[in-house]
Structure 1
Amino acid sequence: MAVTTRLTWKEEKSLQKLLGHASLTLLYKSSVHGYSIENMLQRCTYQGSTITLIYTKNNIFGAFILGHYPKIGEKSESLDSSFCFSLQKKDNTIEIPTFPFNRVPEITANRLAFYFCDYTLFCLNTELKQIVIVYRLEDKAFTTPKRFHYLECEVFRVEGIKDDSCYVRRVTRVTQHREHLLAELRAYKPSTCLIPEIRILMLGPVGSGKSTFINSVKSVFQGHVIRQAIAGSDITSITEQYRIYSIKDGKDGISLPFMLCDSPGLEEKEEAGLCIDDISHILKGCIPDRYQLNPQKPITPSHSTFITSPSLKERIHCVAYVLDVNSVNHLPCKMVKKFKRVQKEVLHLGIAHVALLTKVDNWDEILQDDFLNMNRSMTYESQIMHVSKMLNIPISNILMVGNYASECELNPLKDVLILSVLRQMLRATDDFLEDLPLE
């Protein structure tokens, strides 16, 4: 009979993501193979990198070790890129706070202890079936030792992870930074009480990735890849309606105070794609959600659904010009002229604006090691300069992203890039709001 883990499918997926989508193979399960350290080591030494999990009644504590499992009596030498963690369920999501340990775990006949310098983080006593917690991961603080009886101990071999300390530090730090960005965006509030929700309009050629970016943002907050906004790559626009998408935090979560607005793609021909006259009305907040746009018949104030006196909260507060990074240097002259006409109207209305370059291939290299800034990659230098000159946008407001176009699973690095782009859009919008006349 196969030995199975106590982890739920969702918990196992969260651990795999933490390690850059590595796979886990169960080596040891105390209730099956015996609770002694000797039984554990027989199955876990010389197996490469491992994750050790200890289950208590209410929590799961764990440790990742880069490299082989230590042996009894092994010298406590320094260790790099290993860390302890706990799995915490919160609002239908799983959070994994981590903390590094920098010494080889100490193993005796019935004890397994993890250290940071000379400080014990937690230790396992197999004789008493107890775990002693000294370091509280939730608030990153040492505490009075807490003793818990554990129900199970499991050890997994981690497969598919690079034996590279720099790589491990990066993939584990990115998960922490992802959680930091999510917390910041969940706590975001517009800089003026006159606007309860920010509206960001996605504008760009057909197939540039407007709808896909909206889906990507929604996916990160939902915790899985979704395809709500209709996206495609036809030569004519698949999106025909003007849509306003709210961003919900989790499946049954509240709507966050920013919305992403989708529109048909711009096309070279005047009688095709999104009409310039309709763009002006969208920017001013005159067109309602789900309005069926017709490139040959722009909306007029006499239309029954036309919003004649839109409030400030119904207006567009930021425009994101969405462009395929691979074709931006070869935009047809007619398309460039359309963009300049749109930009003229955006500037006339004083609306915040950024450029979003999509379909970036080396998105994992764009983020600097501290994840705080984006590298201005030499690969895309000509595209960035071209967009800056074409739309008169400062380079700091030209953003790059890799969307979830065909993937089935989320990737923490891609999540961080998507969230960083969204945060930059909101910051640009706040600058616009603070510059509004007092009246």
Structure 2
Amino acid sequence: MAVVTRLTWSEEKSLEKMLGNVSLRLLYKSSVHESDIHSMNEKCTHQRPTVTIIYVGKIVLGVFMLGDHPEVHDNLKRANPSFYFSFPKNDVTAMKTAVLETETKINSERLVCYSSGQEVFSVHPGKSSFWMNDSLRSTLCIHICFSGKYLECEVFHVEGIGDDINYISKITGATKHRNSLLVELRTYKPCVDFVSEIRILLLGPVGSGKSSFINSVKSVFQGRLTRQATVGSDVTSITEQYRIYPIKDGRHGKYLPFRLCDSMGLHEKEGVGLCMDDIPYILKGCMPDRYQLNPSRPITPNHPNFIASPSLKDRIHCVAYVLDINSINDLSSKMVAKFQQIQKEVLSYDTACVLLLTKATNCGEFFQGNFSNMDKPMTSQSQIMDASKMLNVPIYNTFVVENYTSEWELDPVKDTQILFVLRQVLRVAEDFFEDLP
């Protein structure tokens, strides 16, 4: 009979993503194999990178070791680059990590991890027990006793890792930045008291990725992929309604103070795509949610749901132009002229604007593995410069983002890019309020 892990399918896939799109192969399971250090060692030694996981109540604790499992009869501490992680069962999105310079050895029937000469973590298979010091427990936000019994211990071989000595810093960097951005956005509040939520309108050609960006943002906060906004690649717009999407923090969480507004895609031909005469009404906040758009007939004040006297909270606070980075040079002169006309309209209302360039493959390469580079304008990219100049959007308000499209699981690197772009858009929207009389 096959030995299976206690991890759910989703948890296992999320760990594989976090570890750099690797594969996990179960080597040892304490409830199936003998619960002693010798049996564990026999299954796990000379396997190179491993992940050791213990289940403590509703908490999953783990340590990833880049080097070999230590051997029972080796009394020396061996340098073993490692990082530790924890998450509540069934909620990988709440994962906490800690990177330590670690040495490991088998000591008194235990697998022991040391940092700076001090014991920080150990597992005793024979007694189904564990121990961790206060510092590590605090970093991982573990609110359980520093020692005790565990329900199960599992060890996985990690397949698909190269020999990069900086591997751990790269894979943990994404999770660290992602979690930091999540905290910032979850606690975000508009800078003025009289507006409870920021409204961001996405405008772009058919198939540029507007609805995909909305779905991507919602997915990150939901902790799972969701596709509420309809996405398509037809030559005509799939989106036929004006939609105002709230963003909910988790399945049972609160709604966050920003909303993403979606509309028909723009088209170079008149009578196709979003009607240009609708745009002023959208910007002013006159158009109701779920209004059925008509490419050849704009909304009028006679519509029963027309918002005749919109307040500041109803209007659009930031316009996000969305373009496929691979199709910038293919835009027709008519489409460019339409964008420029819209931009004049947007500027006439003193509305903030940004430019989002989507469908970049391997978007992480823009940052060369260094997420601090996200704060720097990417002026070396000719496509970005061309799009910025064409729409008269400053380069520092131009961002590259890779949406979720055909994936089945979330990716910390992609999450980080999406959250970073959302944060920057909100910051640009703040400038709108700073300009108010």
**TM-score, with normalisation over the residues of structure 1?**
0.93
Distance across 2 between alignment mates of 1:47 and 1:236: 53
User: Are the counterparts in 1 of residues 205 and 265 from structure 2 also a CA contact under 8 Å?
Assistant: yes
Could you tell me which residue of structure 2 aligns to residue 78 of structure 1? 79
- CA distance in 2 between partners of 1:105 and 1:202 (Å): 52
**Matches for 1:27-426 after TM superposition, within 5 Å:** 27-72=27-72, 73-80=74-81, 82-89=82-89, 94-137=93-136, 139-140=138-139, 146-374=146-374, 381-426=381-426
1:55 CA displacement = 2.5
CA distance in 2, matches of 1:139, 1:351: 44
2:63 aligns to what SS in structure 1?
A: strand
- The number of residues matched between the two structures is 434
Q: 1:128 to 1:211 in 2, by over 3 A?
A: closer
How many Å apart are 1:145 and its aligned residue?
Answer: 8.2
Q: 2:167 is paired with a residue of what secondary structure? A: helix
2:83–2:168 Cα contact (<8 Å) kept: no
For 2:93 and 2:218, how far apart are their aligned partners in 1? 17
Larger deviation, residues 342-351 vs 402-411: 402-411
Contact 1:97 1:137 in 2 (8 A): no
- Hey, what's the Cα distance between the residues in 2 that align with 1:97 and 1:138? 10
Contact 1:352 1:429 in 2 (8 A): yes
Deviates more, 1:402-411 or 1:346-355: 402-411
In structure 1, what residue type is equivalent to 2:114? Y
Q: 2:4 aligned with 1:7, yes or no?
A: no
The one-letter code sitting in structure 2 at the alignment partner of 1:106 is: K
Per-residue deviation, 1:224: 1.8
What is the identity percentage for the equivalent residue pairs of Structure 1 and Structure 2?
55
In structure 2, C-alpha distance between the alignment counterparts of 1:74 and 1:279, rounded to whole Å: 73
Question: Closer, same or farther in 2 for the Cα pair 1:125/1:399, shift >3 Å?
Answer: same
Q: Deviations over 1:299-321 (max 9, x none)?
A: 12222222111011100000001
The more displaced of 253-262 and 161-170 is 161-170
- CA spacing shift, 1:417–1:171, aligned 2, 3 Å: same
Aligned counterparts of 1:99 and 1:106: Cα–Cα separation in 2: 20
Distance, in Å, in 2 between the alignment partners of 1:368 and 1:189 is 32
| Structure 1 residue runs without a partner (length 5+) | none
SS in 2 for 1:180: helix
The CA distance in 2 between the partners of 1:58 and 1:401, in whole Å, is: 35
TM-score between both structures, scaled by the size of structure 2:
0.93
Which amino acid letter does the alignment assign opposite residue 78 of structure 1?
A
Deviations 1:74-124 (A, max 9, x none): 5324333x112222358x554221222323312124121111221221112
Which has the higher mean CA deviation after the structures are superposed, 363-372 or 229-238? 363-372
Unpaired segments of 5 or more residues in structure 2? none
Q: CA deviation at 1:32?
A: 2.4
* CA deviation string 1:208-253 (max 9, x = no partner): 1111111111111112222211111111111111111111111232
Change (3 A) 1:235 1:57: closer
Write the distance in 2 (CA, Å) between the matches of 1:135 and 1:15: 25
What secondary structure is seen at the aligned counterpart in 1 of 2:133? strand
Secondary structure of residue in 1 paired with 2:138: coil
Say if 1:28 and 1:155, in contact at 8 Å, map to a contact too.
yes
Amino acid in structure 2 at the alignment position of 1:148: G
Distance change (3 Å), C-alpha of 1:112 and 1:31: same
Separation in 2 of the partners of 1:381 and 1:30? 52
2:137–2:146 Cα contact (<8 Å) kept = no
1:387-408 alpha-carbon deviations (Å, 9 max, x no partner): 2222222111001011112222
